[in-house]
Chain A
Amino acid sequence: MSEKKELTCIGCPMGCQMEVTMENGVIRSISGATCKKGEIYAAKEVVDPRRIITSIIPVDGGIYAMAPVKTATDIPKDAIRRCMECLKTIRVGAPVSIGQVIVADLGGTGVALIATRDIPKR
């Protein structure tokens, strides 16, 4: 079965509009890219789009109400919603230190959630 996917390259300000033709999950052709970098980006983006997610969680007893957090590595794009739902259930007590693992496996992705800032006790 043949399928076409459209995407915009993020490699540079050109922002080439690219079209990837897939057949049974295999890339058949990439059109619209004006450089090799764009083709490499498109090939990865259509097969396995991933993003690092950054957000905040509430801190009890810290000098700030919220601690910034991120996923330790990128996670599949379609897991973002699920992970954001998980995040809403997480609280942490001060002190929080930068790099601290808050959750070892966020939303079944196998990826840890880590703090990105020191939040000392109030």
Chain B
Amino acid sequence: MIEKNLVIIGGGPAGLAAAVAAVDEGERDILILERDAVLGGILNQCIHNGFGLHTFKEELTGPEYSARYVRQVEERKIEAKLDTMVIDLSKERVVTAINETDGLIQIQAKAVILAMGCRERPRGALNIPGARPAGIFSAGTAQRFVNIEGYMPGREIVILGSGDIGLIMARRLTLEGAKVRMVCEIMPYSGGLKRNIVQCLDDYGIPLRLSHTVTKIHGKDRVEGVSVAAVDENRLPIPGTEEFVPCDTLLLSVGLIPENELSRKAGVAISQKTQGAVVDESLETSVPGIFAAGNVLHVHDLVDHVSTEAELAGKNAVRFIRGLDKGPAVVMVETGFGVRYTVPSTIHPAAATSITTIRFRTDNVYKDAYLTVLLDGERVQHLKKRILTPGEMEEVLIPAKWLLTRPGLQKITIRVDKE
């Protein structure tokens, strides 16, 4: 069995940033395992601009953003095995992987960082009636076909779901000559960024139909059209509002799910809300020495945040390898009104850095509301927010002094207050 101090599963933005940070923390014995033939992950197909405003203070395309991290990985001579699929992970941190040159390999790691990213929710999860004709794609699959392989998925397109990938693809396909008839969103608001709605839909006159969904897919061999209907407040189609929209292609942009099959095999506790691991302030999961960062932990809107989160996981994995003790005290992070989840969900005050970032999403759109932080019921922060929306990840910063000046602290509550 091969022995490694740190094994990173996944060579996308999270894995690359974690690897760079681990080296900069002084660790040299690192291996990245990546199933694709190149590093960079999904960014390679995200050819649009808008990445890196936080990390690099300039606007980059996806391939440019990933190239900067790949260069940092190469400069540090970090070992990476490409075309390598990890098939098992044990709670003792034994990683089993396969590739064409090594065959089956097993690696005993002192620490593991999960950086596998997420995958798209498929048609099967939506139960849309109809046959199984050609012409139904997830938005990300279509993105790969167009941007990397150079194939158009179709000519007349309806997009279900207004997530950012769907919006970005509406523009891409329009620029490449397709007719995007509409984007349907079952919710009364879009989960995509406002900038994408304006620059991907409004710029090209593509209608966004809020509170609408696809109720049927027509066609046997190839998609011939879809039925679109308005939905009520319970998201159920309203009879009589159905309309036939001819198209040859349906793209689905209906949510992303962290890819945690390996985490589950290792016995990592998974949150029902994020579908990612439950972690503490160091991004360590319920299994000692196994850390998680990026979209495998919770789905992010901005890759910049993935990078900073993964750097934290990289640093903390190195501290674990060196035997850092986090101390016995644990503070719970509780979700109050309006907050769907938080990452992390526990904090060890003795191990917390000067500032602990708690990232979270709200469960609805709140305007002119307050973001409140309570320490065992004592209000320590009450910040006015003009808008909070589930589509944009929020964060609160917890200074270490809040924790250290309150020995015996039990819980931190994050909640939305109307006043």
Query: Do the two chains belong together in a single complex?
Result: yes
Residue of A nearest to B38 (CB): A63
* Bitwise interface map of A from 19 to 63 toward B, beta carbon under 8 Å scored 1, else 0: 000000000000000100000000000000001111110100000
Q: Which residues of B contact A84 (CB under 8 A)?
A: 175
Chain A interface helix/strand/loop/mixed: loop
Q: Which residues of B contact A117 (CB under 8 A)?
A: 44, 47, 63-64, 67
> Which one of A15, A52, A77 contacts B59 once the chains associate, using CB atoms below 8 Å?
A52
Interface range on chain B (Cβ under 8 Å from partner): 20 to 34
- B198 beta carbon closer than 8 Å to chain A: yes
> Which one of A15, A58, A116 contacts B194 once the chains associate, using CB atoms below 8 Å?
A15
- B24 beta carbon closer than 8 Å to chain A: no
Q: Which residues of B contact A53 (CB under 8 A)?
A: 175
Residue of B nearest to A81 (CB): B175
| Cβ–Cβ contact B150 & A116, under 8 A | no
Q: How many A-B residue pairs have CB under 8 A?
A: 76
CA distance A7 to B203 in the complex (A): 10
- B403 beta carbon closer than 8 Å to chain A: no
Residues of A within 8 A of B (CB): 7-15, 34, 51-56, 58, 64-66, 68, 70, 77, 80, 84, 98, 116-118
Residues of B within 8 A of A (CB): 44, 47-49, 59, 61, 63-64, 67, 146-150, 175-176, 193-195, 197-199, 202-203, 367, 386-387, 389, 391-392
* Among all A-B residue pairs, the 4 with the closest Cβ atoms: A117-B63, A68-B47, A10-B195, A66-B150
Beyond the given pairs A10-B199, A51-B203, A65-B149, 19 more chain A to chain B contacts, judged by CB atoms under 8 angstroms and listed by A's residue number, are: A7-B198, A8-B202, A12-B387, A13-B194, A15-B197, A52-B49, A54-B61, A55-B176, A58-B150, A64-B149, A66-B150, A68-B61, A68-B147, A70-B49, A80-B175, A98-B67, A116-B63, A116-B64, A117-B44
